[in-house]
Amino acid sequence: MAGKTPKYKLRQPDRSGPDPTVETLLDIAEKRNLSEAQRRRQAELDEENKEILVGRLGESILWTISLAMLHLTLDVLVTHQYAEEIVWKSIISRTIQASPVIWLLFYAFHPHPEPSHLFPRLPAKAQPYIHEISFSAASIIAGCYLIHITNEYGNFAIMKQAPPIGCIWIWSTSQAIEYVVTEEHRANTKALVWKQDLRIVPLCAGIYLLCYLDRSNIGNAKTLNSSTHDDLLSLTHMTAFQYIISLMVFLIAYAIFEVPSNYFLKKLSPSKWISFLMFSWGVTTIGLGFTHDFAGVAAVRFLLGMFEAGLFPGLVYYLTFWYRTSERSIRVAFILASATLAGAFGGAIAFGVGHMNGVHGMSAWRWLFVIEGIPSCLSSICLFFVLPDFPETVKWLSQDEKNLTISRLAIEGSKSHDKSLTWKEAKDTLCTWRLYAHYAVYFGLSTPFSSLSLFTPSITAGLGYTDLEAQLMTVPPYAVACTFATPL
């Protein structure tokens, strides 16, 4: 029919997908935001380094030079304004006379790395507002006085007073904003880090405690009920040399799988990978309770080393997603301190489990592996849901807190979206002398510590204690170590 509107078919949308070689607007925006965050972070680092190098006195001198040059410039401009002849000797003399006053004001009232408050007796929370009010008042008074002398005084009085008053006006205006912004940023950063600590550090310490408990309990199993020949070595017909081999294969697997494990942590996400490792070493620990010979013990210990290998380097790597370089060491130390607590728990648990010898036809050392492996399996399920992956993905941070975290870690932290590793980055890492210095230090630390965790029950039993007493006597040294290690 003539009156009908013609129908046009819509063109089918392009479903071939975006060209991976062409940058999208989102990619460009992300790069620009990251570059801007890196520039801001680099500026903060440069400022921090400058403060450390020059100190409070040097910083005041540098700022005095800048403000003195401002004084000289204003003096020249005012002289030009009133068509007076520029006498450089007089201008320089006035600038030199003003410099000590400028330095004194800056030294006393500028928010240095160790600021001196205007009113020290007042609460610390009130200090930013006191500074803001004081400098704002000084800025208003100086500005009004400049207007006053311009309207009321003669040329000579204006030329003499305008430069120093102008310096005070400009400096007061900048300080009224700078101090509040700096203090607010520090307060926000402190609150953010504390919020992260509550969510992350205790969780990581608990994970490492269970890990260390499961790796060192073979030392307890070696002497548990040895007086009745119901210990690990007697029932598996292992010699002392074979026992050493079963300990060594754990460390071999540990050394082989440490680095590859971190690749999967980044590829899959921390919550998924660490939960998988935790469940796996829990099941493996339970499996140790059902071994009957040296081959079985050695094989299961190798698997245990393979699964536990990724935890400690994984936790250290995981912290780089959340903390700056200067903030990580104390948190790693707190996590390591949980290993001493695991030693105390291990001895106490072994003492209690030692009384279960023969229950349901199982020796006490078998019960020890089963009972200490179950918590790791159950905890891994909870860990999958509660371990935060990256700052960008968690729900308990506001958008402002996420932005602050990203800007803080733009240079010093690892990034969740950076999935690739270049050969240049690997080469730079492997050629850093600090890496091998850390290797040497950690080697010297871990050798006696690992030996103690595996042989303390045997050493204690050698002092004349019975097998169960030896388990109990391993608790006090670890308890004291934990007490002193945590505050340090």
CA dist., res. 52 & res. 72, Å (int):
29
pLDDT in tens, 32-86: 555 565 566 555 555 544 444 445 666 667 667 766 666 666 666 666 666 567 7
**Angle in degrees, CA 336, 420, 195, rounded to 5:** 40
CA distance 302 to 118: 64
**DSSP 8-class letter at 119:** S
Which distant-in-sequence residues (6+ apart) come within 8 Å of 35 by Cβ?
none
CA distance 456 to 471: 9
Task: Compute the distance between CA of residue 57 and CA of residue 69 in angstroms, rounded to an integer.
Answer: 19
Q: Are 183 and 331 in contact (CB under 8 A)?
A: no
Q: pLDDT digit string (tens) for 300-333?
A: 999 999 999 999 999 999 998 899 888 888 899 8
The CATH 1.20.1250.20 domain(s) of the chain lie at: 201-485
The Cα angle at residue 385 between residues 379 and 391, in degrees rounded to 5:
125
Tokens representing residue 219 in the block: 């030392």
pLDDT digit string (tens) for 337-367? Answer: 888 888 888 888 988 998 888 888 899 999 9
C-alpha torsion 277→279→285→289, nearest 10: -150
Give the pLDDT band (50/70/90) at residue 442: confident
* DSSP labels, 364-428: HHHHHHHHHHHHHHHHHHHHHHHS---TTT-SSS-HHHHHHHHHHTTTTS--TT-----HHHHHH
- Give the distance, in angstroms, between the CA of residue 36 and the centroid of all CA atoms in the same chain: 22
Encode pLDDT of 251-279 as tens digits: 999 999 988 888 888 888 899 999 999 99
What gap in Å lies between CA 383 and CA 89, rounded to an integer?
A: 74
The four Cα atoms 198, 200, 203, 205 give a dihedral, to 10 degrees, of -100
Quote the pLDDT of residue 39.
61
Angle at 143 between CA 139 and CA 148, to 5 degrees: 145
Please, are residues 475 and 340 in contact by the beta-carbon 8 Å criterion? no
Cα 48 to Cα 58: distance, rounded to the nearest angstrom: 14
Tokens 């801007």 belong to 36
pLDDT tens digits, one per residue of 234-251: 899 999 899 999 999 999
Closest CA to 115 of 40, 44, 194, 182: 182
Give the tokens for residue 82. 């009133």
Q: Please say if the pLDDT value at position 280 is more than 50.
A: yes
Secondary structure in 3-state letters for 213-260: HHHHHHHHHHHCCHHHCCCHHHHHCCCHHHHHHHHHHHHHHHHHHHHH
What does each C-alpha distance from 9 to 2, 4, 102, 138, 235 come to in angstroms? Answer: 19, 16, 77, 72, 81
Q: What is the Rg, in whole angstroms, of the alpha carbon atoms belonging to the chain? A: 34
Spatial contact of 203 and 322, defined as CB atoms under 8 Å apart: no
CA dist list (Å): 43 to 46, 50, 62, 201: 5, 10, 18, 29
Q: Are 343 and 453 in contact (CB under 8 A)?
A: yes
pLDDT at residue 215 above 60? yes
Q: pLDDT-derived band of residue 463, with 50, 70 and 90 as boundaries? A: confident
**What CATH number labels 201-485?**
1.20.1250.20
Name the pTM for this structure. Answer: 0.64
Q: What percent of the chain has pLDDT over 90?
A: 24
- What does the block give as tokens for 225? 């009920």
Residue pointed to by tokens 């903030």: 327
